[in-house]
Amino acid sequence: MLRLLAPILLLAGAVALAIIGDRPQPPASYTFLSSADAFTLDPQRMSYDQDMRIAHAIYDGLVRWDPYTFDIIPGVAERWDVSPDGLVYTFHLRDNARWSNGDPVTAQDFRYSWRRALMPDTAANYTSLFFVIDGAREFFDWRSQQLAEHAARPAAERTRAAAQRLRLDAEERFRETVAIDTPDARTLTVTLSRPAAYFLDLCAFPIFFAVHRESVEAWADVDPVTGRIDQRHGWTKPPHLISSGAYKVVSWRFKRDMRLERNEHYWDSASVRSDSVRMVVIEDPSTRVLAFETGAADWNTDVAVDYLGDMLDARARGERHDVHPISRFGTYFWHFNCMPTLTGGRPNPFHDARVRRAFTMSMNKHDIVGKVRRGGEDIATTFVPPGSIPGFDPEGSIVGLPYDPPAARALLEDAGWTRNESGALTDRAGTPFPVVELLASTGAYHDRVALAMGAMWETELGVRTRVVRKETKTYRDDLLRRDYMLARGGWLGDYGDPTTFLNLHRTGDGNNHRGFSNPNFDDLLDRADRETDPQKRMRYLEEAERMTMEVELPILPIWHYATSYQFHPDQLKGLSTHPRLTQYLHYIYKVDPAKADPNPSSPPTKPSGTGVPPVSSKTSDFSAPVSKGQSPQTPPESDASSAMQSSEPTPSAEGAHP
Amino acid sequence: MTGLILRRLIQAPLILLVIYTITFLLAWALPGSAVLSDEGRQPPPEVLAAMEAQYNLDNPVAFYFGYLKGVVTALDFGPSFRYPDWTVNDIVASALPVSVALGLSAILIALMIGVAAGVVGAVRPNSFADIATLVIALIGISMPAFVIGSVLLIVFPVWLGIGSVGAWGTIPDMILPAITLSLPFAAYIARLTRMGMIESLGADYIRTARAKGVAERVVILRHALKNAFLPVLSFLGPAAAQAMTGSFVVEKVFNVPGLGQHFVNGVLNKDLFLIMGVVLIYASMLIAFNLIVDILYHWVDPRIEQA
């Protein structure tokens, strides 16, 4: 009998061993659920939302956004000057900015971090954002060239010492070529290659945050074979991670949870409303909702379940008060392949802008959003979400194309495509319109959207359609090779300027997967780049947006993204609903509903700390009733409830930078 | 016995080498780029090219031997392309204990349920209890884990307020996922036990034992079960290894930070080092568990000569 029990005892012993040492964490001031773990806490390498959410909590930039209005407010820099020509920025750093180990945050820290972002070695996803700094592009190309030459040398010459020399040369070269100067530890001067009104906005973006040089360098070495700096990432994990923001990371367990606690050296500690924050990673959307509903967390950052439509209906009927759709700075669209021919040399009917317009105008976006997507997002007729960028199209004059099937058929006729007696679309010689192929990636709602779009075109235009479903990697390969007719796409803006969207349509841009090229459009963007008057500059950009959304249609915009949060508005305060959708975790705090605010819709009052953003009316009123069907011109932030949700498994953006 | 262990230890590296080679060929053939992520911004093309060069992604032969060298000489399974802050060693070190705890508790539960049900069924064949366990076993095998898991989640934490959703780290957190994971194994063990028991209950030595006046409880537990248990024991090796790594669905539903997700996500993301790392570790575990079972088998029943 003992022998029979032995395997069982062995198993029980192993289980006990595995459990030992896995202790649950103490409760935090508030807990939120994230749909994915942070990929990296190295700010220069970040590109995902969940990473940046942590970055805003543990690092402080030169400046920061007021999350409720997206005005620029001071961060590590207490003030800054801009030269009259808009080219030279001088930041004056405050003397009480400290790293979490007590070291002062210096101008040199920023220069070091920006150099990291510009070194091809770092493989930063957002390197190109730094190219607005004078000499940055040249430095990046020079270092790439230097590394390529090293890699081409015979193996015997590729030594550690040689790689070390390359690194020192690169540091020297950076000092000489890139216009970032540090006259003293508290002054940082940056010269741009062209006036870029959005440079301050970039400085509030995590990629531009500083890292603690000493602790980062401790984990860096050179790779003799390629000459690259080989950065290991032990420094991003507690206790090695030195932070400069409101919190420090006290524990990070891969794909499980992260715990942040107050950084006692933070200069603006008066603005920190919660002493500790806990992030719990739950990838499955239903489990996330159940975890929230059983009280495991105070805030679910992405509802994204299949039954979200039902939850939103319940909210509209007043039966649910914990789901809050919030619009985002991005657009869901379908790519039109704009090349003259398709794979295999077949002529591409979508090369003709009239055909692209006709297909756009014969699609009922309201039905797609309301019946297929079932989140009730605002439909999109433009690429730049209306009202999201101050100064861009303030009158809402860019309206895009309406839903108008008869006009669409007239356009097709103009382009040489007519319906024959059996209703099929043919050219004058009687050759039928090619079968319209819609390339969707699997695993989300894209194929359902594609089926609905196809059905509309079959009815309205008399074309035949086919949905091509491909696994994400293969879909992406096809997209990059432009081996498609129409393909699903989407884009989330990075910084508060229309070029974050419009650059996608530039000839040869790395994200121009459509092969779209229009010299007039490129010229408008070039003129905007050179223009020093911000107002005139916006007019050029408006013209560019109008051209692509009313005439050229390289993409077919369908809806503006939104995310649904889940939280109890009487218990959790301080969340922003601005469409740029960035949360500073230290502004968020929990209140005891028993001692609830007599006026639950009033915005949170903030202590009058130096860097605390002014409280504005844009702190959303989550107890307001739902109002659907707003016109697309209404700025989305004016009423959070108008925007609905999207369940993209979304990183910060879907697409590639050049 | 020593010979058996030695033979297995010599075979193991060869088996692992074959598995490594096959995994490498399959992983290499996956579509898409290893350094380009599916979504999000990408680094400039020259950076991607340099990364490919650093990790030998442009040279399959150098990659094959370079990675093998790292694994053999330093047990270094390389970086993860998808999670730049973590190495494959970090990922496995955090996920493996979780999977081991979950998988082994599932097997433990499966053994308790399965053996008990099997014995009950065998003692009174075709009785109500026998048919009931058969039906339950059938459900256990055929019902997918995401259905059972979701039902358990809704019934216990959501309706009854017992236990938590999406948490991991305490013994109560483990109970529901372990039960979900255990059901197919329990069902199989129940059928194995029942079969073995019916066979041994009809054997001569059982009749002898009963004729001697040995109590029925002792006959069943000590005489019959001992032989009936052997097929269960040989099933336990692969079952334990499978339970510890094949729990992707259970991990997803209950948000368990285990190893199973990395098999699936590694392939979807073409995270080459992660794929190779988890496959090699899984293969080593499978080999180790089979060896342990063989040793136990021999110990439980010394008549068996291991070939």
Supply the CATH number for residue B229's domain.
1.10.3720.10
pLDDT at A655 > cutoff 70: no
Which range marks the domain in which residue B227 is found?
97-268+286-300
Of B53, B101, B255, the CB nearest to A19: B101
Q: Would you state the pLDDT for residue A2?
A: 61
Mode of pairing for the β-strands spanning A276-281 and A30-34: parallel
pLDDT at A7 > cutoff 80: no
β-sheet bridge partners, residue A327: A562
CB contact under 8 A, B299 and A6: yes
Give mean pLDDT, residues A453-469: 96
pLDDT at A1 > cutoff 70: no
Give mean pLDDT, residues A449-474: 95
A128 neighbourhood in chain B, CB within 8 Å:
44
Q: Would you state the pLDDT for residue A635?
A: 31
A19 pLDDT band (50/70/90 cuts)?
low
Q: What percent of chain A has pLDDT over 90?
A: 72
β-sheet bridge partners, residue A89: A82, A190
Mutate to test the interface with B, among A1, A17, A19 (most CBs of B within 10 A): A19
Residue B254 lies in a domain: yes
In sequence order, which residues have a C-beta less than 8 Å from that of residue A62 and are 6 or more positions away? Answer: A75, A76, A77, A80, A91, A93, A110, A188, A203, A204, A208
pLDDT digits (tens, 9 = 90+) for A318-330: 999 999 999 899 9
**Backbone phi and psi for residue B39, each to the nearest 5 degrees, phi listed first:** -125, 170
Residue B16 lies in a domain: no
Which two tokens mark A305? 């379940």
Residue B160 lies in a domain: yes
Task: Report the range of poorest mean pLDDT among A115-124, A306-315, B274-283, B296-305.
Answer: B296-305
Q: Would you state the pLDDT for residue B279?
A: 92
Q: Would you state the pLDDT for residue B206?
A: 87
CB contact under 8 A, B83 and A40: yes
Mutate to test the interface with B, among A46, A130, A235, A287 (most CBs of B within 10 A): A287
pLDDT at A615 > cutoff 90: no
Residue B127 lies in a domain: yes
Q: Is the dihedral of CA A591, A595, A601, A607 positive or negative?
A: negative
A639 pLDDT band (50/70/90 cuts)?
very low
**Backbone phi and psi for residue A251, each to the nearest 5 degrees, phi listed first:** -155, 140
pLDDT at A350 > cutoff 90: yes
CB contact under 8 A, A255 and B257: yes
A18 pLDDT band (50/70/90 cuts)?
low
Closest residue in chain A to residue B86, using alpha carbons only = A233
Which of A:2-41 have CB within 8 Å of B? 3-4, 6-8, 10-12, 14-15, 18-19, 22-25, 33, 37-41
Distance CA B28, CA A275 (A): 47
Closest residue in chain B to residue A652, using alpha carbons only = B40
A286 neighbourhood in chain B, CB within 8 Å:
150, 253
Q: Does A442 touch chain B (CB under 8 A)?
A: no
Residue B193 lies in a domain: yes
ipTM: 0.87
> How near does any CA of chain B get to the CA of A252, in Å?
11
pLDDT digits (tens, 9 = 90+) for A353-406: 999 999 999 999 999 999 999 876 999 999 999 988 888 999 999 999 999 999
Residue B106 lies in a domain: yes
B236 neighbourhood in chain A, CB within 8 Å:
7
The segments of chain B whose pLDDT lies below 50 read 307
Task: Report the range of poorest mean pLDDT among A119-133, A213-227, A452-466, B43-57.
Answer: B43-57
Contact A37, A255 (CB under 8 A): yes
Distance CA A599, CA B163 (A): 35
Q: Would you state the pLDDT for residue A601?
A: 43
Number of structural domains (chain B) is 1
Give this prediction's pTM: 0.87
Contact A624, A641 (CB under 8 A): yes
Helix axes B260-268, B88-123, angle to 10 degrees: 130
Q: Would you state the pLDDT for residue A649?
A: 35
Reference A606, options A619, A595, A593; nearest CA is A619
pLDDT digits (tens, 9 = 90+) for A394-448: 999 999 999 999 999 999 999 999 998 888 999 999 999 999 999 999 878 999 9
Could you tell me where the DSSP H helices lie in B55-87? 60-74
Mutate to test the interface with A, among B41, B174, B193 (most CBs of A within 10 A): B41
Q: Which residue has the higher pLDDT, A121 or B298?
A: A121
A20 pLDDT band (50/70/90 cuts)?
low
Residue B66 lies in a domain: no
Mutate to test the interface with A, among B36, B39, B51 (most CBs of A within 10 A): B39
Contact A145, B50 (CB under 8 A): no
A518 pLDDT band (50/70/90 cuts)?
very high
CB contact under 8 A, A255 and B261: yes
Residue B29 lies in a domain: no
> How near does any CA of chain A get to the CA of B170, in Å?
7
pLDDT digits (tens, 9 = 90+) for A246-296: 999 999 999 999 999 999 999 999 999 999 999 999 999 999 999 999 999
Mean pLDDT score of chain A: 87
Distance CA A589, CA A477 (A): 44
> How near does any CA of chain B get to the CA of A37, in Å?
9
> How near does any CA of chain A get to the CA of B296, in Å?
8
pLDDT at A624 > cutoff 60: no
Q: Would you state the pLDDT for residue B43?
A: 76
Which two tokens mark A207? 């990629």
In sequence order, which residues have a C-beta less than 8 Å from that of residue A656 and are 6 or more positions away? Answer: A480, A510, A511, B36, B41, B42
In sequence order, which residues have a C-beta less than 8 Å from that of residue B224 and are 6 or more positions away? Answer: B197, B200, B201, B203, B206
Distance CA A294, CA B290 (A): 41
